[in-house]
Amino acid sequence: MAVQAATSGRGTDRRFHWWWILLVIGVLLVAGVFAFAIFQPIKVLPRMRLAPGFTLVDQNGQRLTSEDMRGTVVLYNFLYTGCGDECDRMNATMQEVQQRLHDTDLGGLPVEFVTISFDPANDTPETLQRYAESLGADTNQWRFATGEEDRLKQLIGGGFEAYYTPDGAGGFQFDPTFVLVDGWGIIRGKYRYQVAVPDADRILRHIGVLAEEVQKATGPNKLIYEAAHLFLCYAP
């Protein structure tokens, strides 16, 4: 009798431990997922939607297409050369981003800049060329482009969702907008509201986040980055 009691006692003990270990593992897993979602150790940029495809003409009269931009992070903005203060502010942001990118290590990630003019009637390639010179732009990485009026409306308004409309006095009314597109042709950032942090700071930080993801999201790490996308761990 004594022997039987002892064996059965040991048996229940063993089963007891086994359940406890499973429970602890389960709780740790759930806690880990919650901790990841709450503390967000990894930040990514949202994948907003596909960037629109385009065929435009650049400041040299060369064809510039969205396919040429594959594999390159591109910062787009939209303006017309006849505008005043608003475009000066946008260009200053563009120049600041380019200048500060020189001192940033992006692990070899190529970054380019494209300014699209929505005023093709006045902004011919020659005008854009002169505009680029007046800004002192390095046209190897900062290109100026335009196209046909109807297509531009579809591209800038419908595709990039940057609003503009003729103001009836030869100029345009528009929202100063920057759009960040990654090497896969996915829109990852849009900057157009007045917020506390200047656009240049946010854009630079976001390009850094993007470069880090491209560099590190390989092999098993890719799963962790996908989890960051799933739990909306977006960089502010």
Partner 1 sequence: MTTPPSQTPEPSVHIDPYERGWIIAAIVMLVVFALAVAVASYSLGIQLPSPEARVDPNTISSTGPFANPGLRELAPGRYEAYILAIGQGWYFNPREITVPAGSEVTFYITSPDVQHGFKLEGTNVNMMIVPGQVSSLTRRFDEPGEYNWVCHEYCGTGHAAMYGTLIVTP
Report the interface residues with partner 1, using CB under 8 A: 1, 3-4, 7-8, 11-12, 15-16, 153-154, 157-159, 161, 163, 165, 175, 192-196, 236
Residue 138 or 149: which CB sits closer to partner 1?
Answer: 149
Beta strand pairing call for 164-166 and 172-174: antiparallel
Q: According to DSSP H, which parts of 56-198 are helical?
A: 85-102, 125-135, 149-152
Q: How far is the CB of 161 from partner 1 (least distance, A)?
A: 6
Closest CA to 122 of 65, 90, 81: 81
Pairing of strands 111-117, 142-146: parallel
Which candidate, 84, 154, 70, places its Cα nearest to that of 116? 154
Q: Which residues, other chains included, contact 80 with Cβ-Cβ below 8 Å and sequence gap of 6+?
A: 87, 117, 118, 119, 122, 123, 171, 172
Q: Which is nearer to partner 1, 47 or 70 (CB)?
A: 47
As a whole number of angstroms, the distance between CA 236 and CA 234 comes to 6
State the minimum distance, in angstroms, from the CB of residue 11 to partner 1.
Answer: 4
Residue holding tokens 């290109």? Answer: 143
- Collapse the DSSP code of 166 into the 3-class scheme (helix H, G, I; strand E, B; otherwise coil) and give the result: strand
Q: Which is nearer to partner 1, 8 or 65 (CB)?
A: 8
Using the minimum distance from each CB to partner 1, give the nearer residue, 17 or 222: 17
Residues 217, 49, 93, CA angle at the centre, nearest 5°? 80
* CA distances in angstroms from 101 to 56, 81, 163, 195, 203, listed in the order given: 26, 25, 28, 22, 10
* Cβ nearer to partner 1, comparing 27 with 221: 27
Give the residue with the Cβ less far from partner 1, 192 or 216: 192
Cβ closest to partner 1, residue 53 vs residue 71: 53
Q: How far is the CB of 151 from partner 1 (least distance, A)?
A: 10
Nearest distance in Å: CB 182, partner 1:
19
Handedness of CA 218, 219, 221, 227 (dihedral sign): positive
Least distance from C-beta 195 to partner 1, angstroms? 6
Shortest approach of partner 1 to residue 233 CB, angstroms? 14
Give me the residue label for tokens 């579809």: 154
User: At its nearest, how many Å lie between partner 1 and the CB of residue 200?
Assistant: 17
